[in-house]
Structure 1
């Protein structure tokens, strides 16, 4: 098992994910137990499928449909430990995810999930913003709230018990950036993730949202968590391209009962 800091150019930055490359799936309960034991935002499991790989992701609490940073971490492990130097195809619950290595980093090629209108916030979190939100929208797995600016995003104090009530959905907040085009933060306490350091998957919706709002297809994004992470983004048709780096922090041998 490998632990990789994704969307980082050094250890102790970005978002850590565990990665296991398997010959075939372990029993689902065992994979969940490994993820719970790791207590990281995501543990990724991949197995070969012809010239591509099947890929699944588990939080400490349950399996999820979509994860960007653990996809980047998996590609990094395949590139550095399995010497895969070509475009990598991953079969997942949300369709085909592609990762292209190059220039010291990786380009994630993800499906775009454009924002869906949301007339009002769920009652559980409506009081978290005191009426200060600019607008709100959603996709298939998250609620998104735009705040006034980057300062408001950074100053936001999450009510994690309240946010946990919208599980299995998470909450992403975003705002126009100062030194980046936009910033964001992400909370999914119901999935065992109080605040995620850097979340690739939410950018599959944030990029089309900000691309339309700012009138540009190339965007610089920053996730303003304690660890933080920069994402270079581009909207190309119905795909979102995100470029980032990754660093291996640990290689471990695990013992199953």
Structure 2
């Protein structure tokens, strides 16, 4: 745990979707009897500097939760929810916790294992639609990609599962590894279209994907692991009839040197919630 200078609020720091004792996406977690006011939460998130910080306070037997990136509030964050589930399990024991978000109600299951911490969330409902050609062209220009770089099996789409993402599937793993863009231009494109991230993926098989997720809208160049985008991707795959077999595994963050593993399980029911799970670890204390 560390203490934010903003009114001495305790911030727990955990990495979600970690690979053993390494990798994962760091998230701040603040658990209090009442939530700070929005301006204070925004200030704390900016000071913490992670892509998101989750703020939680009890409401009866449930929890009121809000998520803040360094620059904006976001409606839903998967990795911060996994971190929160792990933090609640450390405090209250293994269990299923009901969360009230700004626009949805979800659950997260947190548990302690022989290998550390683990959590699984049930996402908000999913939906997807084809991306407009002009938007696709703008996104390709942002990353200096060409239409020939895209995987025709996975057409560009806008997908949601609590947050909105543009999905671009690349046919070549090397093109994904070479991802580069200008942060201000990426931020402008994402904010103009209401995107939490742009989800760049490469399908290594029906159930195995590599992913990179620029998060310029929140002032972050790239996320090492993005649970909300993983949930949205699963909903999109279901919508297009991809042979997912009921689950997918996503490796993310490797090209950043921060390996992260996300597992998503889902049915064939259109729009239904999906389950996103992974390990979590407590971050080393800052000195």
Q: What TM-score do you get using the length of structure 1 for normalisation?
A: 0.89
2: CA distance, partners of 1:31 / 1:48: 16
1:37-48 correspondence to structure 2 within 5 Å: 37-48=47-58
- The 8 Å contact of residues 107 and 243 in structure 1, kept in 2 or not, is answered as yes
> Is 2:240 the counterpart of 1:205?
no
1:217 lines up with 2:255 in the alignment: no
CA distance in 2, matches of 1:224, 1:209: 21
Q: Identify if the C-alpha distance between structure 1 residues 178 and 204 changes in structure 2 by more than 3 Å, giving closer, same or farther.
A: closer
Q: Deviations over 1:21-41 (max 9, x none)?
A: 011121211111111111110
Pairing of 1:83-232 with structure 2 (within 5 A): 83-102=92-111, 104=113, 105-122=118-135, 124-127=138-141, 128=143, 129-131=145-147, 132-134=149-151, 135-140=155-160, 141-168=164-191, 169=195, 170-177=197-204, 181-211=208-238, 212-225=241-254, 226=256, 227-232=258-263
Q: Is the 8 A contact 1:60 1:191 kept in 2?
A: yes
Task: Report deviation, 1:11.
Answer: 4.5
TM-score, L = length of structure 2:
0.80
Give the RMSD, CA atoms, in angstroms. 2.2
Structure 2 gaps, min length 5: 1-10
Name 1:240's counterpart in structure 2. 274
Could you tell me how far apart the structure 2 residues matched to 1:216 and 1:149 are? 23
**Over residues 1-29 of structure 1, what are the superposed CA-to-partner deviations in whole Å (9 max), with x where a residue is unaligned?**
20001111445410000111011121211
Q: How far apart are the structure 1 equivalents of 2:186 and 2:245? A: 32
Find the counterpart in structure 1 of residue 66 from structure 2: 56
Cα distance in 2 for residues equivalent to 1:231 and 1:222: 7
**Partner residue of 1:249?**
283
1:180 deviates by 6.0
Q: Which runs of 5+ in 1 are unaligned?
A: 253-257
Alpha-carbon deviations, 1:220-243, whole Å to 9, x = none? Answer: 221144212111211134011112
Which residue number corresponds to residue 78 of structure 1?
88
Partners of 2:244 and 2:276 in 1: how far apart?
A: 18
The one-character-per-residue Cα deviations of 1:66-87 (angstroms, maximum 9, x if unpaired) are 100000111111111x223221
Aligned 8 A contact 2:129 2:159 in 1: yes
Aligned residue for 1:214, secondary structure, equals: coil
**Contact residue 202 and residue 211 of structure 2 kept, 8 A:** yes
Higher percent of residues as helix: 2
CA distance in 1, matches of 2:134, 2:211: 18
